[in-house]
């Protein structure tokens, strides 16, 4: 069964579907993400939220970005693993070493953290995936993501809509 892309339709409530939804899904996963299975210098960074007792960090494990959406943090690896069937806290490297798990985690993250905001515009999806880039945190990265999204929309013949960036919004903390 192949992927069928239908003309863009905005469902009631402003939720994009068809080509618009495909553009939304593809844009946050920058093209260069498919070149990097693991975050550059990720092992040197601490993505352990120690106060999270539901998904506690395992000593010696790194919860840095892996896979096409660069899953990071113990509070994502734990529930992603439970949901799709791997031990994300004890074996986070599985996301980099198993292509099926890698893409399952990307879709898990999308459905649990991004899907609910897609009707708010592309900027909301940037915020949901890479909130630290918003509000001046990494303007070049935001500009690149917006550029990818506009390019995909152009190629699919759909309008990118409003609220494309996340500059003026308050940065949220997890």
Q: Is the pLDDT of residue 37 over 90?
A: no
pTM of the predicted model as reported, rounded to 2 decimal places: 0.78
**50, containing H or E segment:** none
**Cα–Cα distance for residue pair 145/160, rounded to 1 Å:** 12
Q: Is 42 exposed, middle or buried (0-12, 13-18, 19+ CB in 10 A)?
A: middle
Question: Which tens digit of pLDDT belongs to each residue from 119-135?
Answer: 899 999 999 988 888 98
Q: Is the pLDDT of residue 90 over 80?
A: yes
The pLDDT, as a whole number, for residue 172 is 44
**Cα–Cα distance for residue pair 55/48, rounded to 1 Å:** 10
Question: Which tens digit of pLDDT belongs to each residue from 62-73?
Answer: 999 999 889 999
Task: Evaluate whether 16 touches 118 at the Cβ level (below 8 Å).
Answer: yes
Helical spans, DSSP H, in the chain: 19-26, 74-84, 94-97, 99-109, 122-130, 139-156
């Amino acid at each position: 069964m192949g992927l069928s892309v239908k003309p863009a339709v905005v469902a009631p409530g402003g939720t994009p579907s068809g080509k618009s939804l495909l553009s939304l899904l593809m844009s946050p996963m920058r093209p260069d993400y498919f070149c990097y299975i693991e975050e550059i210098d990720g092992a040197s960074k601490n993505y352990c939220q120690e106060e999270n007792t539901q998904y506690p960090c395992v000593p010696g494990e790194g919860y840095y970005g892996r896979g096409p959406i660069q899953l990071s943090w113990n509070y994502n690896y734990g529930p992603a693993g439970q949901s799709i069937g791997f031990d994300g806290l004890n074996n986070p490297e599985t996301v980099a070493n198993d292509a099926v798990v890698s893409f399952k985690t990307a879709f898990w993250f999308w459905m649990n953290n991004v899907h609910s905001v897609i009707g708010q515009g592309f900027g909301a999806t940037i915020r949901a995936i890479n909130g630290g880039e918003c509000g001046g945190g990494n303007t070049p990265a935001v500009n690149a993501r917006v550029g990818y999204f506009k390019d995909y929309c152009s190629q699919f013949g759909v309008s990118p809509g409003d609220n494309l960036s996340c500059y003026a919004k308050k940065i949220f903390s997890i």
